[in-house]
């Protein structure tokens, strides 16, 4: 199985604390890095966790509240200073391009690498990227300003060769390349042999969904059904349910309800309000609804 | 003497490191806080050093390279979230207002306090602020983009009363208020008594100059003569003197030369390139030219 894991770079919300940076996560799929949101201080968090900026070719920004993107300018600048030449793919709302352009204009900066912008839509489920290993989708969240979640679905892996059947069916090793892709083989006598006789499916492709800032909204279930790992914000505890709703955020219990109804395998919660020193209440309230829940904490890595 | 000190919040340059944040300093003059530059992560550095944001009413941004202002947006936002109502004075080039406005526009943010902008000029020595305790001036630096230094001059303090002379000259306590301001008193018989007989000057007003990013330029001596403490950037060591000049930065030796020629009392150097792990070379090279030199390090406070 390919390595597929997510490292929490920031688990805090709008007011960062000494232990909780604003939102950012790094998804590592077989050493390709996908950066999801980029709050202030993200470049330092990457350094602290020994995660190389050079491996990041895709950055996804869910919305334009500062705690989700204010670290981006510094990161782009540092990539430039450290000699990046490779193209960077940036998935964001078009207004972010305007913000980046104006800052580069006034600092007289011309980046020595290309940014290819992929603009997001706030009202549909869209496939926004496909690499060799993963397909990425965006979907609308229910927040105060335009905001999307991201769904990462691993692509179907190469099929696994059943070695003893190659011998049994007189199929040479030269056919392996086709078989791995699910194409029928030809045996040494020129007969076609069905690939399902010679291979078996590799592991079940895995999925990760990221819901940055959103109020409780069951329409999200359309996109989250059966995902392996769901990150869902939980800014407040239940005693501040009204405040959560008024500010278009969720409680820990609500995040767990979404996880339960979507029948996901594992839930990670985060984006805690700075008013909470201890996070015990979050685990407790979410745990009463859904039993496989984990707390996002800065620097912690979860396998998917 | 009033408390007058500067805390280094960031001693690094464009690429921050784990031990050196980008530029920011907090000047504390009798518990009034003046923030000078505001690189990414400054709000966290303030928290880490237990310096209350609420005491900051004046912010000075020397120029629009990201390592000198990218932390400002997050700080303004956090002040807003924590309920600031007091006016904030922001000293900067006009382009920064445009950058702040566009970011607030796209995050649908209306700050619940007023920012009063004071726009800087890049080609003159200007008095830009005067409070009860300090006068602040800006002056042009020699950098790739418009950039200024700041000079903080403590105002003349109240004169010190010579108590035994009040008795000797038959002057009542009611006259003290006038005397402190240097106005002549009237004795109990109605005679005018010269204030110099009844008071003595308080201590010599102190001064602090901040030169953020600049190449070696002796025209700075016009503004820096005899200051008590000079902060002057030193991005490189002498072996990279050509690079310093090409990028409009200074070496440690050049910073010390300015200090020596301006006859300042104390020099602080900083803004070290990320390529240097050890700072010993900086102290050594500067020390050969000027003998009262100190290294800026994150979290260190210098008395002025």
A290 pLDDT higher than 90: yes
Confidence of residue A302 (pLDDT cuts 50, 70, 90): very high
Q: Is B47 on the interface with A (CB under 8 A)?
A: yes
The structural domain count of chain A equals 2
- A166: in domain: yes
Q: Are residues B143 and B173 in the same domain?
A: no
pLDDT in tens, A34-92: 999 999 999 999 999 999 999 999 999 999 999 999 999 999 999 999 999 999 999 99
Give yes or no: residues A164 and A221 share one domain. Answer: no
Last residue of a domain, one of A148, A170, A200: A200
Q: Are residues A82 and A176 in the same domain?
A: no
Rounded CA-CA distance A214/A141 in Å is: 6
Last residue of a domain, one of B148, B177, B200: B200
Helix A252-261 vs helix A280-287: crossing angle, to nearest 10: 40
Which residues of chain A are within 8 Å of residue B96 when distances are taken between CB atoms? 106
Contacts of residue B17, defined as CB under 8 A and 6 or more positions apart, other chains included, come to A47, B274
Judgement on whether residues A170 and A221 belong to the same structural domain of the protein: no
Domain boundary among A169, A200, A231: A200
Positive/negative CA dihedral, A200, A202, A203, A207: negative
| Residue A150 domain flag | yes
Same domain as A171, residue A36:
no
Helix axes B94-106, A94-106, angle to 10 degrees: 170
Choose, out of A14, A18, A20, A40, the residue to mutate when testing the contact with B (most B CBs < 10 Å): A40
Q: How far apart are CA A70 and CA B103, in angstroms?
A: 10
pTM of the full structure:
0.91
CA dihedral A269, A275, A280, A283 (to 10 degrees): -20
Domain presence at residue A244: yes
Known catalytic residue: A67?
yes
What is the rounded distance in angstroms from the CA atom of residue B210 to the CA atom of residue B26?
11
Would you say residue A303 lies in a domain? no
The answer to whether A74 contacts B70, with C-beta atoms less than 8 Å apart, is yes
Same domain flag for A12 and A150:
yes
A-chain residues within 8 Å CB-CB of B97? none
Of how many residues is chain A composed?
A: 304
User: Is residue A302 domain-resident?
Assistant: no
Q: pLDDT tens, A256-272?
A: 999 999 999 999 999 99
In-domain check, residue A304: no
Confidence of residue A1 (pLDDT cuts 50, 70, 90): confident
How near does any CA of chain B get to the CA of A94, in Å? Answer: 10
pLDDT of residue B214: 98
Q: Min CA distance, B114 vs chain A (Å)?
A: 19
Handedness of CA B38, B43, B45, B50 (dihedral sign): positive
Its ipTM equals: 0.89
Q: Are residues B235 and B130 in the same domain?
A: yes
Among residues B37, B67, B213, B228, the one annotated as catalytic is B67
Size of interface A-B (CB pairs under 8 A): 101
Tell me: pLDDT of B15 over 90. no
pLDDT digits (tens, 9 = 90+) for A96-146: 999 999 999 999 999 999 999 999 999 999 999 999 899 999 999 999 999
Residue A112 lies in a domain: yes
Taking CB atoms and an 8 Å limit, are B107 and A64 in contact across chains? yes
Q: Give yes or no: residues A128 and A208 share one domain.
A: yes
Same domain, A75 and A135: yes
pLDDT for position B203: 82
Question: Do B111 and B179 belong together in one domain?
Answer: no
The residue of chain B with its CA nearest to that of A69 is B74
Are B246 and B123 in the same domain? yes
In a shared domain, residues B196 and B207: no
User: What domain range is A72 assigned to?
Assistant: 4-157+203-297
Q: Helical H runs in chain A? A: 42-48, 72-81, 94-106, 163-168, 176-180, 195-198, 221-224, 241-246, 252-261, 280-287
| CATH number of the domain that residue A149 is part of | 3.60.15.10
């Amino acid at each position: 199985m390919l390595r597929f894991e997510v490292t929490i770079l920031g688990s805090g919300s709008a007011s960062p604390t000494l232990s909780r940076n604003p939102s950012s996560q790094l998804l590592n799929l077989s050493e390709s890095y996908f950066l999801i949101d980029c709050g202030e201080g993200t470049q330092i968090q990457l350094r602290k966790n020994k995660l190389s900026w050079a491996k990041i070719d895709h950055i996804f920004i869910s919305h334009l509240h500062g705690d989700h993107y204010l670290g981006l300018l510094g990161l782009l600048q540092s990539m430039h200073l450290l000699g990046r030449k490779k193209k960077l793919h940036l998935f964001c709302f078009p207004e972010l391009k305007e913000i980046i352009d104006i800052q580069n204009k006034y600092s007289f900066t011309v980046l020595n690498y290309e940014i290819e912008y992929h603009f997001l839509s706030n009202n549909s489920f869209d496939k926004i990227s496909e690499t060799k290993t993963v397909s990425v989708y965006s979907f609308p969240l229910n927040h105060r300003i335009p905001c999307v979640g991201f769904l990462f679905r691993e692509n179907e892996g190469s099929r696994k060769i059943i070695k003893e059947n190659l011998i049994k069916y007189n199929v040479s090793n030269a056919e392996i390349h086709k078989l791995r892709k699910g194409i029928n083989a030809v045996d040494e006598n020129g007969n076609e042999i069905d690939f399902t006789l010679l291979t078996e499916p590799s592991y079940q492709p895995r999925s990760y969904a990221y819901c940055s800032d959103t109020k409780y909204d069951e329409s999200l279930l359309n996109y989250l059904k059966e995902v392996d790992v769901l990150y869902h914000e939980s800014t407040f505890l239940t005693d501040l349910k009204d405040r959560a709703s008024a500010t278009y955020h969720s409680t820990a219990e609500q995040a767990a309800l979404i996880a339960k109804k979507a029948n996901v395998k594992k839930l990670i919660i985060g984006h805690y309000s700075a008013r909470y020193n201890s996070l015990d209440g979050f685990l407790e309230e979410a745990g009463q609804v859904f039993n496989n829940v984990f707390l996002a904490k800065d620097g912690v890595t979860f396998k998917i």
